[in-house]
Amino acid sequence: SISMDVLALEAKSVNGADSEKKSAPRPKPKPPKKAKRIVYFEVEIVDLKTKEKLLLLDKVEPTATVLDIKALFHKSYPKWYPARQSLRLDPKAKCLRDEEVLQTLPVGTTASFYFSDLGPQLTWGTVFLSECVGPLIIYLMFYFRLPFIYSPKYDFTTSKHWIVHLACMCHSFHYIKRILETMFVHRISHGTMPLRNIFKNCGYYWCTAAWMAYYINHPLYTPPYYGQQQVNTGLYIFLFCQVGNFSIHVALRNLKLPGSKAKKIPYPTKNPFTWIFWLVSCPNYTYEVGSWIGFTVMTQCVPVAFFTLVAFIQMTVWAKGKHRGYLKEFRDYPTLRSSILPFIL
């Protein structure tokens, strides 16, 4: 009958579909991805002076930094901790920075590094504190007229001039401020400084502080020629620049995240003292020199004027170097800025 034929056809079609499904080829599984082969570097460390081979590192990862290589070198030579090591690719080239990566350096898979010993190192924090604590204590020794400084009849006496006490307060305030900034504000990017340099740095700061203090606190010291008006003018300049200097240090601190070495262009903030950033690359030095100019006007003392001049020359050198670094690092660096003095220097 017709119904039986229909059922037979349906059954046939179902069986055919099943057989087609069974005969359909299964997709082949994808072969597993081959892991990327790491090309290790062979690093040879050679003494810069004697050209003697000190160490051969045969399996250094390409992502290793210069600091990692220094750490590996330190394991073989414990007396040369990383901060003491200077590594360079050529005897006459510059020292490599710790953060530079091996695979980005202009070397093949076999690299030679020239090593030199930088000598015992001190952290910059220790250096700054030594530079600041010394002048603070030395100045106070002259201010309180300790024995063997002036004539015995003046031992432990105090000056009759108010400007002498004001100068002591301002000098002490400056160095206490610097000490506190070193401890709580500055994020020092440089790691260490050779121990031998601290004697030169401290010798300069300590000796100039003693020279200034000797004359300002001398029993025969005479007040400035224009009297109270000159003292007030110098004091206002000093205080204005001290606040400005502190404002710049805070702005520079906020520019860097803790632990980050990424460099950014410093720009003015809401604080009016930072607006000088529109015109100057290193306003912290500008304000520092301004403070000492104010102190010179206030005390009318030749050693202070000499110290201010030398400080200005040195800070100009530092500011110009930093300004050049900014221009080299940032293509969009503001062209209106000068190094330390707006439109002049």
The predicted structure's pLDDT at residue 259:
63
Q: Answer yes or no: do 87 and 188 share one domain.
A: no
The predicted structure's pLDDT at residue 4:
53
Q: Write the pLDDT tens digit of every residue in 272-324.
A: 999 999 999 999 999 999 999 999 999 999 999 999 999 999 999 999 999 99
Domain-embedded: residue 138: yes
Domain-embedded: residue 295: yes
The CA–CA distances, whole Å, from 295 to 43, 135, 261, 283 equal 55, 15, 36, 18
Classify 57 as helix, strand or coil. Answer: strand
Asked whether residue 7 carries a pLDDT value surpassing 60, the answer given is no
The predicted structure's pLDDT at residue 5:
54
The predicted structure's pLDDT at residue 139:
96
Residue type, 34: K
pLDDT top residue among 239 and 263:
239
- The chain-wide mean pLDDT, for the chain, equals 85
Q: Answer yes or no: do 302 and 236 share one domain.
A: yes
Asked whether residue 17 carries a pLDDT value surpassing 70, the answer given is no
Q: Answer yes or no: do 86 and 160 share one domain.
A: no
Q: Write the pLDDT tens digit of every residue in 120-163.
A: 777 777 777 888 999 999 999 999 999 999 999 999 998 999 99
Question: Tell me, what DSSP letter sits at residue 338?
Answer: B
Short-list 165, 139, 154, 181, CA closest to 304: 139
Classify 246 as helix, strand or coil. Answer: helix
Q: Answer yes or no: do 178 and 294 share one domain.
A: yes
Q: Answer yes or no: do 140 and 231 share one domain.
A: yes
Domain-embedded: residue 18: no
The CA–CA distances, whole Å, from 98 to 67, 87, 88, 185 equal 5, 9, 11, 24
Q: For residue 339, name the pLDDT band (cuts at 50, 70, 90).
A: very high
Q: Answer yes or no: do 255 and 315 share one domain.
A: yes
Q: Answer yes or no: do 216 and 239 share one domain.
A: yes
Most confident of 10-19, 27-36, 253-262: 253-262
Q: Answer yes or no: do 70 and 152 share one domain.
A: no
Q: Answer yes or no: do 88 and 133 share one domain.
A: no
The predicted structure's pLDDT at residue 342:
92
Domain-embedded: residue 21: no
Place of tokens 């350096």: 105
The predicted structure's pLDDT at residue 26:
67
Mean pLDDT, residues 86-115 taken together: 83
CATH of residue 55: 3.10.20.90
Burial of 26 (0-12, 13-18, 19+ CB in 10 A): exposed
The predicted structure's pLDDT at residue 196:
78
β-strands 121-123, 110-117: how paired?
unpaired
Domain count, the chain: 2
Asked whether residue 23 carries a pLDDT value surpassing 60, the answer given is no
* Lowest-pLDDT range of 45-54, 162-171, 185-194, 268-277: 185-194
Mean pLDDT, residues 178-202 taken together: 80
Structural domain boundaries enclosing 286: 122-329
For the entire predicted model, the pTM comes to 0.76
